[in-house]
Amino acid sequence: MTSESESVRPGPRKYVLFDVDGTLIDAVANQRRVWGTWAARYSLDPDEVYRVALRTRPMETFATVVPDRDPGECLSALHELEDEDVRSGVYAAFDGAARLLGALPPGAWALVTSNYEHRVRGRFTRTGLPVPPVVVDAAAVTEGKPSPLPYLLAAELLGARPEDCLVIEDAPSGVQAGLRAGMTVWGVNAPAAVTGVHRHFGSLREAVPDILAFAGAEGAAAVG
């Protein structure tokens, strides 16, 4: 005969996987400025370049806006500008980000970004956000979002099952990546819900209590 304490077992541990730009860090002005400077180097319309860059990865952007230029050269120029922006640009974390990341259980969350880890670390240092042990960046996978590979790799590194993971995203490509990975996906920081999300929040701050509850940190939800 088993005792009551022996028969009641905790459920599977839950994990939270965060996109970075647009989700935890407000980098819209920085991205627009970087692409504007890049466009000027090639005598292109900055607004048109940024419009394309918003919906494509850099190499695809180059193929669209400067098909006659060496994509490697274009990427090097972009990386140079992005690195300089990390050093000198002004960044802000979205309201609630510091409280949220500080309250999550250690080892229960990761960053999944289409950027590079050194830039993420630079931005997090500038904004005072903690960096988790697991960061899946553009160099870690052969396919970026909307492929599920970045989120699946993050789950693997955390020792998590996809069905026990919550993805926090702001963009359609990231949402699709999380859904294709078989994870729960919540959208934040957008006026309207991205197609496919299981829940939508107008801001990250609004989502903080529910994210902490999902991760089993309900008691931390009251931290101000």
* Paired tokens of 37: 């400077």
Peptide bond into 58 cis (omega under 30): no
Element (H, E) at 183: none
Given 19, 26, 137, 170, which residue is catalytic?
Answer: 19
What length does the chain have? 224
- Nearest Cα to 120, choosing from 211, 17, 50, 27? 27
Sequence-ordered list of residues with C-beta below 8 angstroms from that of 15, at least 6 positions apart, any chain: 108, 109, 110, 155, 158, 160, 164, 165, 166, 215
Beta-bridge partners for 167: 17, 185
* Paired tokens of 215: 């991760």
Residue 137 known to be catalytic: no
Residue 45 known to be catalytic: no
b/e burial code for range 129-168 (CB count within 10 A of at least 16 → b): beebebbbbbebbeebbbbbbbbbbbbeebebebebbbbb
Given 21, 26, 85, 170, which residue is catalytic?
Answer: 21
- Exposed, middle or buried: residue 87 (CB in 10 Å: 0-12, 13-18, 19+)? exposed
Residues serving a catalytic function are 19, 21
